[in-house]
Structure 1
Amino acid sequence: MEICPPSFDLLEPEIFDLGWFALRWYAVAYIAGLMIGWRYMMALARRPHMWNPPGTQSPKSPFSVEQVDDLLIWATLGVIVGGRLGYVVFYMPDMIWERPQDIILGITDGGMAFHGGLIGVSLALFVYSRRQEIDLWRIADAAAVVTPIGLFFGRLANFINGELWGRPTDLPWGMTFEADRLCVPRHPSQLYEAALEGLALFAIINIATWKFRSLEKPGLNAGLFLVFYGLFRALLETVREPDAHMPEALRGYVTMGLLLSLPMIALGVWLIHRAMKQDSAKA
């Protein structure tokens, strides 16, 4: 296959390759997101006043720094297992029957789905909260604050890998990608997603957290995350390359990312309504 000259070729997907071990930007993105998110959650655990209304006597955090340490392992497993299985089930279902060994072995070449990772982390948070007797919505709210960090780094890694590009475009910032057989300028949708799902979503939830004290309302941050991620993802699906496995009649209009984002938005709206309703009842 003829190689398409990429518009962006400053970084190789692999940072170094020793033959028996290769370190890729994709892996570094996950590590950076988890490590920074872990430290940020520890900082939130150390600020009990953020979780309680002003004037509360002896405010307490819903979880301890030590519990955040333990949660890192659970979250890591949820992201990796859920993200990989989600990618296979949602986007590459034929792999289950044709190349089952690649479900595990192929993870080094990329292939993770955010919606699968979200399901995996949600299950990990549910189990961990039950074992530690922590309010699920409290720990989900903290996770919502830090998750956009991982999304930002992950989308940058997608861009460096030259994967998940957008639809063809004649806009001046259209880019070509090496693996594109058509070799036409396309939307750098990975960068759009890094900006919206990463930076914009981080700003929205952190403004709600630090300025409007959203951590006082269990479930509010989680709801905000689901709604705005779902809206941003639905918007960006209009410029992402359509999924090849979708039916021909739907390929230009409906994508798997869009279908998976709609229930996220609905659940987020319910969580926001629930959090605000409970807050009003307390008042």
Structure 2
Amino acid sequence: MHSIHIVWDPIKYLDLGFFKLHFYSVMWIVAFVLGFYIMKRIYRNENQSDESLDSLFIYSVIGIMLGARLGHVIFYQSELITEDFFSIFLPFKFKGGIEFTGFQGLASHGAAIAMIISMYLYNKKILKKTVLWILDRVVIPVALGAVFVRIGNFINSEIIGKYTNSDFGIVFKQLGETEPRHPAQLYEAFCYVFVFLILFYFYWKTKKAEQQGFLFGLFLVLLWTIRFFVEYVKVSQGGIEEYFGNALSTGQLLSIPFILIGLYFMFMYKPKTQSS
């Protein structure tokens, strides 16, 4: 029988001499640039100004990156707070000598919480609509961005899957391995494409965007249901799961509240006053 595993041994960056351009960073840039263009179309459709779009971009980038980093530290690597505090916010490791690491260790749950907070602040300062109005729309590019972030994880050979114990899978050669694992990052990326397409369809082809909170809720339910099930084939990254008897992974435990919040906004939430 032919083996159907793939040996994965990519280059992770382009060495430009004065700077190493990491493909993981490029994936984040692609996510934000595509997100900007999608939101531009949505804002034109909603007769919003270009100035408010520029502000949205700044709030999104700072909020999501900061939240993703803090989320990783709080949920998965809390020892950094006491052992190497400045490495939380800077792309350097200081413990045992200064070393440029790039921004590593970013958690999607932290990014999601920060996105909600930053959209609340953005709406309060700039947009003056409702926070759900902007969340219902910004989740569309965020879903597409999640695809590229997971591809970046795959390039970095991180957030890996468990061994398949068969001929199927990916051999992560840079981890010094010879046995195939589940390409969990690609499973997620593939599924997130459909999350994006579903949200895109509901916004442009239905009246659901007028039901405050529906698209935001749909995003939470779809994205974190996928995350919950893909976690079954992922290697545990540790974190808060030990406090819950290791019955579910940290990623699964953190996904459940998001799914419940999403269901609430899809089916139970009623705005106090209908926004114009």
Which TM-score band applies after superposition, normalised by the shorter structure?
0.7 to 0.9
Q: What residue is the counterpart of 2:59 in the other structure?
A: 74
- The question of whether the paired residues in 1 share the 8 Å contact of 2:171 and 2:177 is answered with no
TM-score by structure 2 length?
0.86
User: Which runs of no fewer than 5 residues in structure 2 stay unpaired?
Assistant: 1-5, 94-100
For 2:44 and 2:206, the matched residues in 1 are separated by 19
Q: What residue is the counterpart of 1:16 in the other structure?
A: 15
Q: What residue is the counterpart of 1:156 in the other structure?
A: 151
Shift of 1:101: 3.0
Shift of 1:242: 1.4
Q: What residue is the counterpart of 2:97 in the other structure?
A: none
Q: 1:241 to 1:171 in 2, by over 3 A?
A: same
Q: What residue is the counterpart of 1:31 in the other structure?
A: 29
SS in 2 for 1:176: strand
For 1:66 and 1:177, the matched residues in 2 are separated by 45
For 1:263 and 1:78, the matched residues in 2 are separated by 20
CA shift digits 1:99-141 (9 cap, x unpaired): 2232122561521111111111211110110112122111101
Q: Percent identity?
A: 29
Q: What residue is the counterpart of 1:54 in the other structure?
A: none
Equivalent of residue 192 in structure 1, options 142, 167, 187: 187
**Which amino acid in the other structure matches residue 70 of structure 1?**
S
- The question of whether the paired residues in 1 share the 8 Å contact of 2:8 and 2:173 is answered with no
CA shift digits 1:139-173 (9 cap, x unpaired): 10111111111101100010011111001112443
CA shift digits 1:35-80 (9 cap, x unpaired): 11111111011113xxxxxxxxxxxx4x433211111011000111
Shift of 1:182: 6.0
SS in 1 for 2:223: helix
Question: Which is richer in strand?
Answer: 2
Q: What residue is the counterpart of 1:44 in the other structure?
A: 42
Shift of 1:179: 4.9
Equivalent of residue 170 in structure 1, options 165, 168, 175: 165
User: Which runs of no fewer than 5 residues in structure 1 stay unpaired?
Assistant: 1-5, 49-60
Equivalent of residue 143 in structure 1, options 138, 141, 152: 138
**Which amino acid in the other structure matches residue 202 of structure 2?**
A
Shift of 1:191: 0.3
Q: What residue is the counterpart of 1:52 in the other structure?
A: none
Q: 1:93 to 1:235 in 2, by over 3 A?
A: same
Q: 1:167 to 1:131 in 2, by over 3 A?
A: same
- The question of whether the paired residues in 1 share the 8 Å contact of 2:238 and 2:250 is answered with no
- The question of whether the paired residues in 2 share the 8 Å contact of 1:26 and 1:110 is answered with no
For 2:168 and 2:206, the matched residues in 1 are separated by 37
For 2:243 and 2:106, the matched residues in 1 are separated by 24
- The question of whether the paired residues in 1 share the 8 Å contact of 2:80 and 2:87 is answered with yes
Shift of 1:91: 0.8
**Which amino acid in the other structure matches residue 35 of structure 2?**
G
SS in 2 for 1:76: helix
1:232-247 pair list within 5 angstroms: 232-245=226-239, 246-247=241-242
For 2:76 and 2:174, the matched residues in 1 are separated by 18
For 1:264 and 1:115, the matched residues in 2 are separated by 9
SS in 2 for 1:12: coil
Most deviating of 63-72 and 31-40: 63-72
Q: What residue is the counterpart of 2:96 in the other structure?
A: none
Q: 1:242 to 1:138 in 2, by over 3 A?
A: same
1:1-283 pair list within 5 angstroms: 7-9=7-9, 11-18=10-17, 20-48=18-46, 61=47, 63-103=48-88, 104=90, 105-106=92-93, 108=102, 110-132=104-126, 133-180=128-175, 183-196=178-191, 198-245=192-239, 246-247=241-242, 250-251=245-246, 253-274=247-268
For 2:39 and 2:24, the matched residues in 1 are separated by 23
**Which amino acid in the other structure matches residue 188 of structure 1?**
P
For 1:248 and 1:273, the matched residues in 2 are separated by 32
TM-score by structure 1 length?
0.84
**Which amino acid in the other structure matches residue 216 of structure 2?**
A
